[in-house]
Chain A
Amino acid sequence: MENNLVVQAKDVVKTYDEGRVQALNGVNLDVVSASFIALAGPSGSGKTTLLNIIGALDIPDSGSVGIEGRNLESMKEKERTTLRRERIGFIFQQFNLVPVLTARENVELPLEILPGFDRAARKKTALEMLSLVGLEGLENRFPNKLSGGQQQRVAVARALVKSPAIILADEPTANLDSENGMAIVDLMKKMRDELGSAFILSSHDPRVLERVERVVQLVDGRIDQ
């Protein structure tokens, strides 16, 4: 089991505003590969902060976070960027697709900054991924010509195209209607089954929480046991 750990957070503390706001207060979390878990809790409970720290976008004030056995606190910014580029995928609430790129180009984007993918390989992989998320035929559309659900599918494909160890999805259904939202969760679960990446979602939507394998409840920056 120890070998399958992709995330290991120990006593993670994070504060903002010079310590006045306690976002995380001693969080411990282990995530194994191919997990499908959700961080749940009300607004301000620390879900996004924890995702940011696991995603190497932020560093804890104290405690430690290991990603596939590598300790984040000891990494320099450049190393964290490399880690994100190679091992972590992100899905955002607001999709955050690059508006000037087509669906295929958006999916190709993570591969363009990875070594070992020539143009043809990038295109082939992106098209395969778009096909997997059900967007065959829409590859050349720009984001503004896609529905919210379709945009989030592109975002899922973009996050998965480099076969990362971890996918972090911050409120991935919040900007979608319930039907599209649940379809996205189901899609993510299907992709987890096919590709084996660990998914960590944040959400307070009960229907999302029903679909995950494990719910980690956060309250006031602590995990509610």
Chain B
Amino acid sequence: MTAIRLAYRNLLRNKRRSILTSLALAIAMMMMVFAFGMLDGMEEQSIRNFISYDYAHMKAYLPGYLEEDFPGLDHAFTVPESLLTLIEKESNGATVTARLEMSGVVIHGSEETFVRVVGVDPKRDKEVFETLETLSGGVTLSDDKEVALIGDRLARDLKIDIGEMATLMVRSAPGALNPRMLPIAGILRTGHPKVDQFSVYVPLSLAREMALLPDGATEIAVLTKSKSTSPEVTAYLAKVLPELEWHTWVALAKDFYSMIRFKRYGQAVMLGILALMAAVGIANTMVMSVHERTREIGALRALGFTPRLISRIFMLEGTMLGLAAGITGVILGCILTAWSAIDGWSMERYGDMDIGVPIRDAIYPTIQPGSIAFSLVIAVLLALFASWGSARMAGRGQVVRALREGKL
């Protein structure tokens, strides 16, 4: 209690110096909370987009499909309705759909571009993905109409609008080019660049007809009742249907997770350097504090304070400085994060560039309790580390010299 009171009062003795010293660390902590908030927000949105528009909770392919640079119809397989019903039954009420994905070219006037053509079962797909319902205009797909949906960025690049005709050309399974003139029924705007910029969606029946693959599909997507159960359901389905390769959404997003991990490391290094610089400031303040108080230290030792108690006073000062900086930094970081989350961190600056994140409009940073706790712990540990040397010096000084000469 004595040490805490002395440490606290000594910090208040030089208010301006204490504030300035802790401010540097507070700024580093603010940046840490904000940076992690950005990454957490990015991760949350990405997971949502992956599940809603791309991976569902799990997918099944023929073995080797994902190893191909340009996976195509070589790895298509027959998916009768009965198989989907069986999977639904075995996966305890999950929703299931089949998709047939192939490479193709879409042409409108003088514009043409390579795309991924995705054949979807309109009825089943809506139970698993949100893609077909995320329209910025027009109507969605139905089984009985030979129409296409395209992403809004693709529509912009092709200079095509709803109701206009586009030529979609795919290479069928036997290898022949198969063109088809299709009206654009609707334009998708999901926020997932892969969908909005590179994809054309057609009814599964039409895709199968163009690929010359009756009942063919390249993947089966499953949405379980909860994403947390997907590993168990995946493992179970892999046993029930071992001829297919089953992957959870986490496994499918492994490149994304590597990228996020790399970004976290990178940011941690940058922020670590910033925090270390702030810690040097604390170390400097603590050394100054010890030198200013040598006679006081000597007097306390003469009164019977142990070297350990003297050191503890200075360690506590550093800890309080770090805690104050950490709390200030966390509060500022939360304010900055919350403010940035109002309109989001615009991705427009990256244009059409693929930065490996399934988000195209804006990243909305989030505040995670883990990041706050981490920042506080880092601030306190850095402050402890920074004050350790001066605390040791204060405890080890010679009493007589401290009293007589004011030196330790």
Q: Contact at A57–B302, with CB atoms within 8 Å?
A: yes
- In the bound assembly, the distance between CA atoms of A113 and B301 in angstroms comes to 11
Stretch at the interface among A32-40, A88-96, A198-206: A88-96
For residue A82, give the distance in angstroms from its CB to the closest CB of chain B.
7
Q: Contact at A84–B6, with CB atoms within 8 Å?
A: no
Q: Contact at B306–A57, with CB atoms within 8 Å?
A: no
The tally of CB-CB contacts under 8 A between chains A and B is 63
In the complex, which residue of chain B has the Cβ closest to the Cβ of A108?
A: B2
- In the bound assembly, the distance between CA atoms of A55 and B400 in angstroms comes to 10
Whether a CB of chain A sits under 8 angstroms from the CB of B399 is yes
In the complex, which residue of chain B has the Cβ closest to the Cβ of A114?
A: B304
For residue A38, give the distance in angstroms from its CB to the closest CB of chain B.
20
Residue from B10, B299, B306 in contact with A81 in the complex, judged by beta carbons closer than 8 Å = B306
Assess A57 versus B400: contact at CB under 8 Å? Given A81-B306, A96-B296, A96-B299: yes
Residue from A82, A92, A105 in contact with B304 in the complex, judged by beta carbons closer than 8 Å = A82
Whether a CB of chain B sits under 8 angstroms from the CB of A58 is yes
Contacts of A146 in B (CB 8 A): none
Q: Contact at B304–A110, with CB atoms within 8 Å?
A: yes
Q: Would you list which residues of chain A between 105 and 127 have a CB under 8 Å from chain B?
A: 105, 109-110, 112-114
Q: Contact at A100–B9, with CB atoms within 8 Å?
A: yes
Assess A98 versus B296: contact at CB under 8 Å? Given A82-B304, A92-B403, A110-B303: yes
Q: Contact at A112–B306, with CB atoms within 8 Å?
A: no
Q: Contact at B6–A100, with CB atoms within 8 Å?
A: yes
- In the bound assembly, the distance between CA atoms of A106 and B109 in angstroms comes to 90
For residue B308, give the distance in angstroms from its CB to the closest CB of chain A.
10
For residue B126, give the distance in angstroms from its CB to the closest CB of chain A.
70
Q: Mark B254-289, 1 if CB is under 8 A from A, else 0.
A: 000000000000000000000000000000000000
Q: Would you list which residues of chain B between 291 and 338 have a CB under 8 Å from chain A?
A: 295-296, 298-306, 309
Q: Mark A126-138, 1 if CB is under 8 A from B, else 0.
A: 0000000000000
Contacts of B12 in A (CB 8 A): 100
In the complex, which residue of chain B has the Cβ closest to the Cβ of A113?
A: B304
Contacts of A55 in B (CB 8 A): 302
Residue from B296, B300, B301 in contact with A99 in the complex, judged by beta carbons closer than 8 Å = B296
Q: Contact at B296–A84, with CB atoms within 8 Å?
A: no
Whether a CB of chain B sits under 8 angstroms from the CB of A86 is yes
Residue from A78, A81, A98 in contact with B6 in the complex, judged by beta carbons closer than 8 Å = A98
- In the bound assembly, the distance between CA atoms of A106 and B293 in angstroms comes to 16
For residue B332, give the distance in angstroms from its CB to the closest CB of chain A.
28
Contacts of B2 in A (CB 8 A): 109, 112-113
Q: Contact at A112–B1, with CB atoms within 8 Å?
A: yes
Q: Contact at B299–A92, with CB atoms within 8 Å?
A: yes
Assess A81 versus B304: contact at CB under 8 Å? Given A92-B299, A109-B2: yes
**Known contacts A84-B303, A105-B5, then 20 further A-B pairs from the complex at CB < 8 Å, ordered by chain A residue:** A57-B301, A57-B400, A58-B399, A58-B400, A81-B305, A82-B304, A90-B302, A92-B299, A94-B295, A96-B298, A98-B6, A98-B299, A99-B13, A109-B2, A110-B303, A113-B303, A113-B304, A113-B305, A113-B309, A114-B304
* 14 cross-chain CB contacts under 8 A: A55-B302, A58-B399, A58-B400, A82-B304, A84-B302, A84-B303, A90-B299, A92-B403, A96-B298, A98-B6, A100-B10, A100-B13, A110-B303, A113-B2
Q: Which residues of A contact B (CB under 8 A)?
A: 48, 52, 55, 57-58, 78, 81-82, 84-86, 90, 92, 94, 96, 98-101, 105, 109-110, 112-114, 158
